[in-house]
Structure 1
Amino acid sequence: MSNIISFDPKKDQAIFDNLIKYAIAPRPICFASTISKNGQVNLSPFSYFNLMSHQPPVCVFSPLRRMRDGSTKHTLENILEVDEVVINIVNYDLVQQQSLASTEYAEGVDEFKKAGLTPLPSSYIKPPRVAESPIQLECKVQRVIPLSDLPGAGNLVIAEVLAMHVQAHLLDDKNNVKQHELDLVARLGGDWYCRVTQDNLFIVPKPLRNLGIGVDNLPEAIRLSKVLTGNHLGLLANVEIIPSLDNTVDVNIDYSDSTHIHSFAAQLLDQGKLQEAWQVLLRSI
């Protein structure tokens, strides 16, 4: 194992606060649109945000207290007055506008106008949606959980989704989202972001309904391979039983060199050819 450097969130606070944003990433980004009891709309982006439940459908995001003095921000203040919020998903077409909207404008300033975005009336709640957002979630706030009153402390907003609105061009004829066309972005550390494009999408087969054999039950020659990675072993171990050798599958390689065999099997696994990889490996043990 390589050397590891450890950091204490209390003793090394400034370094820790920076590093943790690199470590827990990528984080999806949303615009939260809220409204005060006086009708003042606020729009703010959040990357401390995610989906937490299906039934009921619940999202969580976290407005932080200001680092300089621990005071609360407009989003949280609005939610405590009017317990509704629209969670608007941010994609690549909106990434610069969400960055602009993160500017802390004075109370009363309309972030929709500042960011050049269009408010769209919601169907069930008072705060408006972001018309340009690919997916908009109208939500009722269930709870707000303050984590502390220290500067930088989060306030977990637990919001139940009442309705979801999806741009029609993003759906196929079965109402599945065209993942590559959604063009999502995510927050990383510092000023870094990433973009979900066709080139970096890949599929990971879901675990079997029945139990996979597990890495511990792989043959030792495979489990202790110097070539196969943890990802490769995970794929091989996600079978109910080790396959039987199929002599009808003819792979023309040199079976006297285990390194070559494992390298070839690794290539097959990287191409999604699990059964072919197993047949190659079975001939080597």
Structure 2
Amino acid sequence: MHIVPGLKVLYFGTPVVLISTRNEDGTANLAPMSSAWWLGRSCMLGLGNTAQTTLNMLRERECVLNLPSSAMVDVVDRIALTTGNPDLTPRRLQQGYRYEPDKFTLGGLTEQASELVGAPRVAECPIQLECRVVASHPFQDPDTKCTYFEVEVDRAHVEEDLVIPGTHHVDPLGWDPLIMKFCEFFGGGQNVHPSRLADGWEMPHQLEQANA
């Protein structure tokens, strides 16, 4: 039997992306997000309007989409609930966000120079996609203060052991992406780490046994 619960959150499960961009002063910004989907060589990204990443992408018109494996979950969780924008909204403060200008250092990650864009890649991520912004649009829902970006992948960097030999295809058995499902971290179909984001968003999850 189906019910109509009036779902508050619709994050059924998408890969986590670490988006790297350049700040106005030339330093690097890094942000975890999971509102992303791909079609062909294009990707759609949904980002809050107050995020430093949004400000940087609107100005610089480029970014790198770094895809962490599930083994990197502790790194991603470490930089969750941080922002590169020093002007935190009351909502973000209530959720537990704090200003952090150097998230590469906080996550123990390494900046790796890109080849086509100014934003750095995350050296530890098995897949890195250099992108340029093709278009950006505000969400029409006045209660959704977000921007959706269409970006085009100009260059993809993939760890050699993830590529099927003799092809241009990623091995789906070898690639285990970090998935965010209703604000919780999953890999290989299992909950892999407690989520600070779920706490900040007050998600009513009961994952104590999975996280023990």
The answer to whether the superposition gives a TM-score over 0.5 is yes
Query: Equivalent residue for 2:176?
Result: 183
Contact 2:44 2:150 in 1 (8 A): yes
Check 1:123–1:133 CA distance in 2 against 1; reply closer, same or farther (3 A cut): same
Kindly state the Cα deviation for residue 76 of structure 1 after the two structures are TM-superposed: 0.3
Given the two structures, how large is their TM-score scaled by the length of structure 1? Answer: 0.57
Q: 2:20 aligns with which of 14, 33, 38?
A: 33
CA deviation profile, 1:180-214 (whole Å, cap 9, x unmatched): 22221211114x232137xxxxxxxxxxxxxxxxx
Please give the alpha-carbon distance, in whole angstroms, between the structure 2 residues aligned to 1:82 and 1:125. 10
Matched, 1:114 2:116: no
CA contact (8 A) 2:73 2:178 kept: yes
Q: Which residue of 1 aligns with 2:194?
A: none
Q: Give the corresponding residue for 1:4.
A: 3
Greater C-alpha radius of gyration:
1
Task: Report Cα offsets for 1:150-189 as digits up to 9, x if no partner.
Answer: 5653211111111000011212322332222222121111
Structure 2 SS opposite 1:179:
coil
Q: Alignment partner for residue 51 of structure 1, among 28, 38, 45?
A: 38
Q: Does 1:127 align with 2:119?
A: yes
Which residue among 133, 144, 165 is the counterpart of 1:173?
A: 165
1:15-164 equivalent positions in 2, closer than 5 A = 16-18=7-9, 20-21=10-11, 25-52=12-39, 54=40, 57-65=41-49, 72-107=50-85, 109-148=101-140, 150=142, 152-164=144-156
- Give me the identity figure in percent: 26
Q: How far apart, CA to CA, are the structure 2 residues paired with 1:110 and 1:5?
A: 43
Q: Which amino acid aligns with 1:179?
A: P
Q: Which runs of 5+ in 2 are unaligned?
A: 86-99, 190-212
Q: Distance in 1 between matches of 2:23 and 2:185?
A: 31
> In structure 1, how many angstroms separate the alpha carbons of the residues matched to 2:116 and 2:29?
18
- Segments of 4+ in structure 1 off by > 6 A? none
| Structure with higher helix content | 1
The count of residues paired between Structure 1 and Structure 2 equals: 174
**Distance in 2 (alpha carbons) for counterparts of 1:106 and 1:42:** 6
Q: 1:139 to 1:109 in 2, by over 3 A?
A: same
Query: What are the residue-to-residue correspondences of 1:189-208 with 2, within 5 Å?
Result: 189-190=182-183, 192-196=184-188
